Amino acid sequence: MTANNTLHWQDTNTEVHKVVVGPYDNNVFVVRCRATGEAVLIDAANEHEQLLELCQLLGVTRVLETHGHWDHIQAIPAMREAGYEVAVTALDAPRLKDVGYDVFIDDKEVIEIGNLRLHAIHNPGHTEGSISFAVANTPLLFTGDTLFPGGPGNTTLEGGDFATILHSIDTKLFTFPDHTIVLPGHGLDSTIGTERPHFQEWVDRGW
């Protein structure tokens, strides 16, 4: 594995690296400050050997979980054993009771990664504590399983609620400009401008 193989997006200050892991093809992202080399990993989903290699390669200092569903947390024990701090919202922390966590992420918290700033956005509906991350001064929005190309994430699982996820998307995510890049927990990227016009379709279809 090399940094060039995993590079997904970059500008003068920021790198995003992406790998797809596990039986549910989970996206795992690393956000890295190019000036300082400091980085965070978003969702320690699975295939911990690959993720640990990526962390060492890219200077990851901590792990941020978008939510606590089991397919997003399988690599956490190995990450914590290797010394990486794992952060999750208090509302989703009970889902991590078997794998462990270290600190809570709060709504509107600003997470420093070198010179970069990640803004945490609590957007319940997929789970009670689901959270997205917007990287300041970039078009990047990491939406976990809240917003995908083509609609909201699954709300039939424990902690899910369709009306709540719609409200979260409408009031928390669709406030971003059209050019904002949506980087979801599974599948391909999209943009806010691509998804926003379809909101009423999602409401009408009911999922």
pLDDT in tens, 9-45: 999 999 999 999 999 999 999 999 999 999 999 999 9
With contact defined as beta carbons under 8 Å apart, do 193 and 181 qualify?
no
The pTM of the full predicted model, rounded to 2 decimals, is: 0.98
Instruction: Count structural domains, the chain.
Output: 1
Label residue 4 by pLDDT band (50, 70, 90): confident
Q: What is the pLDDT of residue 70?
A: 97
**Beta strand 14-21 with 181-184: parallel, antiparallel or unpaired?**
unpaired
Tokens 């270290």, located at residue: 102
Q: Which two tokens stand for residue 83?
A: 């010394």
Distance between CA atoms of residues 61 and 141, nearest Å: 20
pLDDT of residue 112: 98
Residues 6+ apart with CB under 8 A from 164: 124, 125, 155
| Residue 28, token pair as written in the block | 């795992």
CATH number (domain holding residue 70): 3.60.15.10
Q: How far apart are CA 41 and CA 65, in angstroms?
A: 9
Give pLDDT tens digits for 59-115.
Answer: 999 999 999 999 999 999 999 999 999 999 999 999 999 999 999 999 999 999 999
Q: Shortest CA distance to 71 belongs to which of 125, 151, 145?
A: 145
CA distance 51 to 31: 13
CA distance 95 to 64: 14
Q: pLDDT per residue over 105-140, tens digit each? A: 999 999 999 999 999 999 999 999 999 999 999 999
Residue span of the structural domain in which 49 resides: 3-205
User: Angle at Cα 134 formed by Cα 32 and Cα 85, nearest 5°?
Assistant: 55
